[in-house]
Amino acid sequence: MLSINQDIFEIIQAKFSSSEVVRCIHLNVSLFTELSNEEYRILALVTKKSNSALFLFFCKKPNPIHLSDLFIETVIPIDENFECFSDTILGEDKYLLFIVKYRNFILEFRIKTGLESSNFASEIIKCKERSLYENCDHRWLFKYSDVKSPLDCTENKSQSPDIPFVRQNMAQNQNAINRESMLKYQLKLKEPEFTQYQEFTIFTGTWNVNGQLPSISLKPWLSCDTEPPDLYAVGFQEIDLSKEAFLFNDTPREAEWEKMVLEGVHPNAKYRTVALTRLVGIQLIVLINIKHYQHIKNVAVDTVGTGLLGKMGNKGGVAVRLDLHNTSLCFVNSHLAAHVEEFERRNQDYKDINARINFRRHPTAIKDHDQIYWLGDLNYRITELTTSQVKTLLLRNEMATLLKADQLNQQKERGNVLLDYNELDITFPPTYKYDLNSDTFDTSEKARPPAWTDRILYRGKGIYQQKYRSHMELRISDHKPVSALFKSEISVINQAKYRKVHEELLKRMDKLENEFLPQVTVDQTEIKFDLVRFREPQFRDIIIANTGQVPAEFEFIKKLDEQSYCKEWLRITPYCGTVNPGEKCDIRLEVNLETDLVELDDILVLHLNGGKDMFIIVTGKGQRSSFTTSMRALCRMSKPIMTLDDEQYRKIIALDGEVLYSVPRELWLLVDHLYTHGLTVKDLFESNSTQDSFIRLRDWLDFGSTEPISVSVETVAETLLIFLSYTKEPVIPSNLQNVAIAASSNYHNCKNIINEKLPDIHRNVFLYICMFLQELLRHSSENGYDAKTLASLFGEILLRDPIRNSKPQASRGKSNFIYNFLVNDLSTSIIPIK
């Protein structure tokens, strides 16, 4: 149990940078609210300098074996806001409730009572106490939260974290991993384009040394070939049969045998140890010719015991994996169960080794390697033949008969062991069992039948076994050493070609990414409106078509320093939305001109979320209208505004010219019509006339006509309201409105404002309207209006707010002001209209 803990501890530490130290972990944590047992969590207490935090990991497996099995789910800083306590769970004594609080954020865990939990809790409490005396700086945690950039962090910092960071960007990161694996996959597919095979000589040897001291040179075994190999994998079994070695897995022999190997290797090359691994007496050393050393990467070792209780190290396997250039190699040295009849046990040992070796530092299984070399004392015997029969057959050199009786060959044929592994035909005599220091088979009482216990097999592409032999002259053990020499094809990367392929793939992926940016086209980017007339809306539709491969979220966005995404005379519907690939969306642009603007001009920014921006230019010409022209100019017009030529118009607008009328002609025409036809009409101002009739009347006024007014009197009344609502300046100018409202309780003061402060034409218009309203009130029995109603209706208009659409203010004051002029006699007290 302890060793599993240690492994997981290391994996968790690997999740952090070296300055972030995992102090302790707690396995098998479940959220109290979670009923399912399918989810596994781990708590880890991590410190960086004087700051600590509690990390909750979500694991894919009960016992994670790789970094990618763990995700950080929640990070809880430990500072003065942090609290933790435990509680009992009703009806359970083996588990307790562990509660972690950070301000309003609470997590409840169910954990096993015991040493692990009490140690863990006390570590947390120590950190919490320390946090009270230190300045807490949680910036290091930001990278574990779902904040994407440090820019956002600065904001967080100023507020200090309100709740612990809950990680939400898992999916996003998943995406990055997928991309990563896609690139790896693509690179693998393209491997032939940037790799070439190079032949490497690999020497593998195995020797069960029967606990003997390393007292003789290994040269006859390791240096028996003329050319030095590129790589050695040398396995021993039973290097130490002592109890100490068995119990403590520690032996001085390890270094001694390594030394003998290094001394025994081929003299024509220099070698360096790549890896050495040992389980009790099973030892494996991998050496590389130093000229290749730099091309070795990702070296990892692992050991698996299959002996006593199925896990002790007296039997089992050790393995070394490495990448040589671009080929992954795995060497396994195994010592399988002994005794003639135990072949099934041996098969099982083999399976266990395969299942349990996973090279934690570089998580892979044996089978995942391009080339596997399996050597060792596999302990398979010769069956169905007596010792003397074997010896006789050997003398007659009837190898075929003997090999048929070999258990390994039999089991392998049945698919029970070392499936898909190859072995060159054995031509050497059995390597077991000899009398020590002799070449004589066992002469003891037991007289065991000789057997090929020591074997070397291989699996993978491009491996060509050159030699397979035993070395009789090494006599110290009851086994003879065996060696196999291979010519193996190693895939070597041509760096220049690799860079090219890699770069091209990256480029393709960049391109892909660019293609996966949202893409839309807009059918027109310049919208020209025809002549835009006062309160006569026009619209144009544009079509946004998604031509990309992902849904496009669009939105019209504000430009720098602007209030809205478009000018006030424009409306965009909808101004945001989503268009799916291949689909279209109609956007309506509607202009409605309510000012004297002549040049309509706007640039709309159509923004695609995560993509480009498009500009859409909207232009148009506003048509002049009496409704938006200043009253002072209107009083200078001798004829309808549209009948003026440009020069005349320009002059008048510049107030160059004589004042011809005391009130605008258009106003007089409207009021006069109402005076004649409207005084007795009920609810005169309350009908909603059609847009069409308003436009007819507007044009009748602006263009002039010899025809009489052809619209209803209600339309005329509404048009009067519109006229007064859009005059370039309110009738009571904005700067006087507050004064007027303040004076509204006193008629005398009100009168003074009108008489002394108002520009002439405004005063004329004001009094003209009030006199008309008084006339209207004389017919109140027929039209139903009273002074208060009219005062409030016209107060809103004559003292209209300078900014349209803003909230009407102090309307009571406005209507009170007007009211004064509806109930008092104007003819005597007011300067007469000029």
Partner 1 sequence: MSGGPYNYSYIFKYIIIGDMGVGKSCLLHQFTEKKFMADCPHTIGVEFGTRIIDVCGQKIKLQIWDTAGQERFRAVTRSYYRGAAGALMVYDITRRSTYNHLSSWLTDTRNLTNPSTVIFLIGNKCDLEAQRDVTYEEASKFAEENGLMFVEASAKTGDNVEEAFLETAKKIYQSIQDGRLDLNAAESGVQHKPSTPGRNNLSSDNQGSKDNCSC
- For residue 369, what are the CA distances in angstroms to 40, 199, 321, 372, 471? 30, 18, 8, 6, 29
Residues 424-483 interacting with partner 1 (rule: CB under 8 A): none
Element (H, E) at 611: none
* 259 counts as binding partner 1 under rule CB under 8 A: no
Q: Is 189 in the site for partner 1 (CB under 8 A)?
A: no
Closest distance between partner 1 and the C-beta of residue 467, in Å? 35
Rounded distance between C-alpha atoms, residue 728 and residue 50, angstroms: 69
Residue 72 within binding range of partner 1, rule CB under 8 A: yes
Q: Which of residues 138-167 bind partner 1 (CB under 8 A)?
A: 143-144, 148-151, 153-154
Quick one: which of 502, 505, 463 has its CA closest to 484? 463
CA distance 159 to 129: 23
Question: Residues 301-330: x/- map of binding to partner 1 (CB under 8 A)?
Answer: ------------------------------
**329-to-372, 373, 378, 544 alpha-carbon distances in Å:** 6, 8, 20, 56
**Calpha distance 554→176 (Å, rounded):** 25
193 binds partner 1 (CB under 8 A): no
Helix, strand, coil percentages, rounded to 5, for the chain: 35, 30, 35
Residue 551 in contact with partner 1, rule: CB under 8 A = no
Partnered with residue 768 across adjacent β-strands are: none
Residues touching partner 1, count (CB under 8 A): 52
Complex with partner 1: residue 176 or 247, whichever CB lies closer: 176
Phi-psi region of 683 (alpha: psi -120 to 50; beta: other; left: phi over 0): left
Q: Candidates 168-176, 432-440, 633-641, 677-685: pick the segment binding partner 1 (CB under 8 A).
A: 168-176
Q: Out of 305, 611, 620, 664, point to the residue binding partner 1 (CB under 8 A).
A: 611
> What end-to-end distance do the CA atoms of the chain give, in Å?
108
Q: What is the DSSP string of 129-155?
A: HHHHHS----GGGGGGSS--SHHHHHH
Indicate the residue type of 112. Answer: K
Q: Does 372 bind partner 1 (CB under 8 A)?
A: no
For residue 482, which of 463, 459, 454 has the smallest C-alpha distance? Answer: 454
> Which residue, 183 or 826, has its beta carbon nearer to partner 1?
183
Tell me the C-alpha distance between 31 and 108, whole Å: 6
Q: CA–CA separation, 389 vs 458, rounded Å? A: 30
H/E element holding 784? Answer: none
- Segment interacting with partner 1, rule: CB under 8 A, options 44-52, 344-352, 503-511, 649-657: 503-511
- Piece in contact with partner 1 (CB under 8 A), picked from 14-22, 242-250, 638-646, 651-659: 14-22
Binding mask 612-651 for partner 1 (x = CB under 8 A): xxxxxx----------------------------------
Region 553-582 residues binding partner 1, contact defined as CB under 8 A: 559-560
Under the criterion CB under 8 A, does residue 67 sit at the interface with partner 1?
yes
Q: Per-residue x/- mask for partner 1, residues 507 to 526, rule CB under 8 A?
A: x-xxx-xx--x-------x-
From 49, 291, 297, 461, residue interacting with partner 1 (rule: CB under 8 A): 297
* Cα 505 from Cα 498, distance rounded (Å): 10
Closer of 186 and 409 to partner 1 (Cβ): 186
Nearer to partner 1, 92 or 613 (CB): 613
Identify which range of 27-35, 175-183, 430-438, 746-754 contacts partner 1 by CB under 8 A. Answer: 175-183
Name the residue nearer to partner 1 (CB basis): 356 or 502: 502
How many CB atoms lie under 10 A from the CB of residue 176? 10
The residues of the shown chain that bind partner 1, judged by CB under 8 A, are 14-18, 66-68, 70-72, 143-144, 148-151, 153-154, 170, 173, 176-177, 179-180, 182-184, 187, 297, 502, 506-507, 509-511, 513-514, 517, 525, 559-560, 603, 605-606, 611-617
